[in-house]
């Protein structure tokens, strides 16, 4: 699966032309805090990113068209739109 993902990323996700993904992901406050803590711990431990090296973050970032984070009553909701 990682090989396919890397192949699609190398081609600029051209195979997915016209694709649009919109969604909202509710995340409990505790999980958001745990994810942030792990990210910060990994970054401070060895200066690396907590994102696995197999994830082509640069190729994915240009696909993100909107990203909003809202926090209410202990729940953080990430609203996003991704377009290829």
**CB neighbours of residue 13 within 10 Å:** 19
Tell me the Ramachandran region of residue 74: left when phi exceeds 0, alpha when psi lies from -120 to 50, beta otherwise: left
> pTM for the full model?
0.59
Tell me the Ramachandran region of residue 39: left when phi exceeds 0, alpha when psi lies from -120 to 50, beta otherwise: alpha
The pLDDT of residue 51 is 61
Residue with tokens 């792990």: 38
The pLDDT of residue 48 is 60
> What pLDDT tens digit does each residue of the chain (84 aa) get?
778 888 888 888 888 889 899 999 898 988 888 888 887 787 666 656 556 566 677 777 788 899 898 888 888 898 989 888
The pLDDT of residue 23 is 93
The pLDDT of residue 20 is 92
How far separated are the first and last CA of the chain, in Å rounded? 19
């Amino acid at each position: 699966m990682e090989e396919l993902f890397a192949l699609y990323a190398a081609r600029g996700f051209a195979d997915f032309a016209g694709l649009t993904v919109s969604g909202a992901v509710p995340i409990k406050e505790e999980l958001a805090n745990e994810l942030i803590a792990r990210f910060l711990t990994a970054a401070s431990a060895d200066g690396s990113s907590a994102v696995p090296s197999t994830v082509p973050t640069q190729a994915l970032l240009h696909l993100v068209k909107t990203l909003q984070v809202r926090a209410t009553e202990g729940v953080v909701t990430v609203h996003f739109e991704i377009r290829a």
